[in-house]
Amino acid sequence: MGNFKGHALPGSLFLMMGLWWAGKFSYWYATRRKKSVGHLTSRVAQCRLEVIEGAAILFFSLIGILAEQFVADGPWLHLYNYTEHQWDRLMNWQHATMYLFFGLAGGVSLTVHATGSAPLALDRMLLGVAFFNEGFLFLYHLHGRAMLDVHVHQLLLYAIFGGALTTFLEVFHRGNVLLELLRASLCLLQGSWFWQIGFVLYPPNEMAEWDPKDHNNMMFITMCYCWHFAFSMLTVTVVYCTVCWVVRSRLKRTPLMEIGLLKATESEDEI
């Protein structure tokens, strides 16, 4: 998938995932603080949301695997090309492997929250493993490319391994809103950086080519990465503020008496 679309597609997926997480975790945090609106997110609703999220990740991962395997120039499940005595389309296989681990994470999250027969933190651990695995494959992916190409992918590794580390920390500090929002913004960063890589390495027709050996380009790209991170943090902030504002305005409209009743009936769900 060494082309523009091959970077725009995962970029869009990660952008969606980051936005979704920013919204979800902001909402939970906001409702946890204002306990009186507990009926908006009882524990049952939270659990159902997690199941849906797991199913969605599983679904998109399966789509991704199938797409990598059965596109026009895909390997169609052949691993070895016996006529040319070499491995067949390793890139597609590698991308399919990345999707496979995200699929595992989605499937496990689905199972954990639907059946409750496994420790809760397992969903975070497998998500961390999926991020780590993505970074691990990228790490050994870059041998023998041009300097600029290697550099933009190396920068991507910061976002990926940062996300993996954050998710592993959540295994021990579950429910820490800072870690959750940091994960969301690192995910957004990854998504927007995939788009940037696409524009740098495969510029659309009307744009000028980038000189892959110019040292100034390397320095600009590094700085550009910081701007992407600042922008992704800004996006998470905007989402957080919007969600807080919506939750607070809803709270005001809820009649006081009803809140009193809610407190009595749902107090066991909110902790």
User: Which residues make up the interface to a second copy (CB under 8 A)?
Assistant: 29, 86-87, 90, 93-94, 97, 100-101, 104, 117-119, 121-122, 125, 129, 133, 136-137, 140-141, 143-144, 158, 171-173, 177-178, 182, 214-220, 222-223, 226-227, 229-230, 233, 240, 244
CB of 258 to a second copy, least distance (A): 24
Distance CA(270)–CA(122), nearest Å, equals 22
CB-neighbour burial class of residue 31 (10 A; exposed 0-12, middle 13-18, buried 19+): buried
CB of 229 to a second copy, least distance (A): 7
Residue with token string 């949301």: 49
CB of 264 to a second copy, least distance (A): 28
Q: Centre a 10 Å sphere on the Cβ of residue 123 and count the other Cβ atoms it contains.
A: 25
Pick the closer one to a second copy by CB: 158 or 199: 158
Pick the closer one to a second copy by CB: 133 or 196: 133
Pick the closer one to a second copy by CB: 70 or 227: 227
CB of 23 to a second copy, least distance (A): 16
Q: Centre a 10 Å sphere on the Cβ of residue 51 and count the other Cβ atoms it contains.
A: 17
Pick the closer one to a second copy by CB: 16 or 94: 94
Among residues 100, 117, 17, the alpha carbon closest in space to that of 9 is found at 17
Q: Centre a 10 Å sphere on the Cβ of residue 20 and count the other Cβ atoms it contains.
A: 15
Token code pair at residue 137: 């494959």
